[in-house]
Amino acid sequence: MPEAPFITIEGPIGIGKTSLAEKLSVHFDLHLLKEIVEENPFLEKFYDNIEEWSFQTEMFFLCNRFKQLEDIEQNYLNRKKAVIADYHISKNMIFAKRTLKPDKFSKYKQTYHILTDDMPVPNMMIYLHASLDTILKRIRLRGRHVEQNIKASYLAQLAQDYEDYMNEFEVLHPDIPVIRINGDEMDFVQHQEDLDKIIGLVRQHMRNHKTVSKQ
């Protein structure tokens, strides 16, 4: 029996992950899993002082995302119900490597693997990437208060971290298709034709990998 789609969307802060997940959720009739961001009580302090608040911030995100994924596995994936998420839990390691000191990262890494090693993996990944200028523009347009103090240098480093991670992901998981979307060239929020192209790519990969949905 074909497996139900479990699609995750990844990319740097402000790139449009949630917007795309919402649109694909509606089109393909997929359950939408959205990460909890602004509810993190440490986030604003983190952007003001990354070194001081990084461990608390990352641990909150890890535990929260673990619980979300656990619920999704039980209530949807185990029942062959399709899911699309605006994040992949492995993003925690991307941020933790960038922000935590070695001693804290060692503790964090152990906890991460204890929680996630037996968690379900996606059968499709959509990777959104763009130049720093585009990322900064979209963050300004989004207007989240907690993001207005993010340093451009941090975003640039994070974008490169994502690129390195996705290159490694494709090597380690050759069986999981990765759709790369260049945000400098495609604006799926403003232009329907760009969204249609992405929908076509997703549909093609669903057919090629024998996942099932209602479209």
Residues flagged as binding site for ATP: 11-19, 138-142
86 is catalytic: yes
Residues 6 or more apart whose CB falls under 8 angstroms from that of 164 comprise none
Cα separation, 156 vs 85, in Å, equals: 24
Crossing angle of helices 152-172 and 91-99, rounded to 10°: 130
Residues placed in the known binding site: 11-19, 138-142
Q: Which residues contact 78 (CB under 8 A, 6 or more apart)?
A: none
Task: Assess contact for 9 and 85: CB atoms under 8 A.
Answer: yes
Catalytic residue from among 29, 71, 86, 187 = 86
Question: For residue 181, what are the β-bridge partners?
Answer: 128
Contact 151, 13 (CB under 8 A): no
Structure-token pair, residue 102 = 């070695």
CA 113 to chain CA centroid, Å, is: 18
Which residues, in sequence order, are CB contacts of 150 under 8 Å at separation 6+? Answer: 13, 47, 139
Catalytic residues: 86
